[in-house]
């Protein structure tokens, strides 16, 4: 598979992030979401998709190429580093857990996409599609979270338009640098897994919870199901 096609697939997968943000920024759509608790459902969905990324993509790849000691250290350090990062953000009044979790999911998956493309595997097309389907609800939830924290509309859109560009950069790195270094890529996957897991249980799930409303939590099941189906189709 050519590098140009690989970078195009990574960019296309990343562009679903601002698409999700665009839906979230629509006043009429946001009103409907709030009226039917869909914002909470989508937050849970994003959390479920992130959990699926850990359980079905990042961890299985990481533990295949890394020793028990290295895997444990990388996973724990991911949790500790993002505990400190999240603590600093909260002290500064920022709420960006969904945003950080989205990046921790998208970047390593784009790295994996690039590494897979370097081997010529046709799995790349389906992987790009699954990344795009995960990114859209995560983009929706991240925009909603950061907008409610008071971040200006202009800065939000600057961020959400720049994020997709990290996909081709990560895919390029995976294509040229990590396709022959499975151990390095595995350590990165495990580190990101620890960070994502911390963010899900510390902030994303508690923030999405609504008293006397149980159905939105089904969003987590739906998000994980998306990852499960995608993984089974890929393999």
Q: Kindly list the domain boundaries of the chain, sorted by start residue.
A: 3-22+38-206+216-234
Report CA dihedral (119, 123, 129, 134) to the nearest 10 degrees.
-90
State the CB neighbour count (10 A cutoff) for residue 11.
Answer: 18
Cα 160 to Cα 80: distance, rounded to the nearest angstrom: 26
For the chain, where are the alpha helices, taking DSSP H only?
Answer: 3-25, 27-35, 38-52, 59-65, 68-91, 97-118, 123-148, 153-173, 182-199, 205-208, 218-234
Which 3 state secondary structure label does DSSP give 210? strand
Length of the chain: 235
Residue with tokens 């640098």: 177
Provide the β-strand partners of residue 210.
Answer: 213
- Closest C-alpha among 116, 146, 143, 119 to residue 131: 116
3-state secondary structure of 93: coil
C-alpha 99: how far from its chain's center?
8
Kindly give the confidence (pLDDT) of every residue in the chain, 235 residues in length, as a single tens digit, with 9 standing for 90 and above: 789 999 999 999 999 999 989 988 887 776 776 666 676 787 788 788 888 888 888 898 889 989 999 999 999 999 999 888 878 766 766 666 778 878 877 888 898 889 888 877 667 887 888 788 878 888 887 888 788 777 888 888 999 999 999 999 999 998 988 777 888 888 988 998 898 888 888 876 776 666 656 777 788 888 889 888 887 887 6
Give the angle subtended at the CA of 11 by the CAs of 61 and 4, to the nearest 5°.
90
DSSP 66: S
CA distance linking residue 70 with residue 62, whole number of Å: 10
pTM of the model: 0.73
Cα–Cα–Cα angle for 193, 104, 175, rounded to 5 degrees: 100
Question: Which of 50, 62, 46, 49 is closest to 112 using CA atoms?
Answer: 62
Tokens of 62: 């990481």
């Amino acid at each position: 598979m050519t590098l140009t096609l690989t970078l195009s697939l990574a960019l296309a997968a990343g562009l679903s992030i601002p698409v999700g943000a665009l839906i979230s920024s629509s006043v009429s759509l946001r009103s409907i979401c709030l009226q039917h608790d869909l914002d909470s459902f989508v937050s849970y969905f994003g959390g479920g998709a992130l959990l699926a990324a850990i359980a079905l993509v990042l961890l299985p790849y990481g533990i295949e190429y890394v020793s028990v000691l290295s895997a444990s250290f990388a996973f724990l350090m991911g949790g500790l580093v993002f505990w400190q990062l999240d603590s600093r953000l909260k002290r500064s009044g920022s709420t960006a857990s969904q945003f950080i979790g989205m990046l921790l999911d998208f970047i390593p998956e784009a790295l994996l996409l690039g590494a897979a493309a370097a081997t010529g595997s046709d799995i790349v097309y389906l992987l790009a599609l699954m990344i795009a389907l995960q990114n859209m609800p995560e983009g929706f939830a991240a925009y909603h979270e950061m907008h409610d924290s008071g971040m200006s509309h202009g800065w939000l859109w600057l961020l959400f338009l720049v994020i997709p560009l990290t996909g081709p950069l990560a895919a390029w790195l995976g294509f040229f640098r990590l396709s022959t270094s499975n151990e390095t890529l595995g350590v990165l996957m495990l580190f990101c897994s620890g960070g994502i897991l911390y963010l899900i249980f510390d902030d994303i799930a508690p923030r999405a919870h609504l008293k006397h409303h149980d159905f939105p939590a089904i969003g987590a099941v739906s998000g994980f199901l998306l990852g499960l189906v995608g993984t089974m189709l890929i393999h």
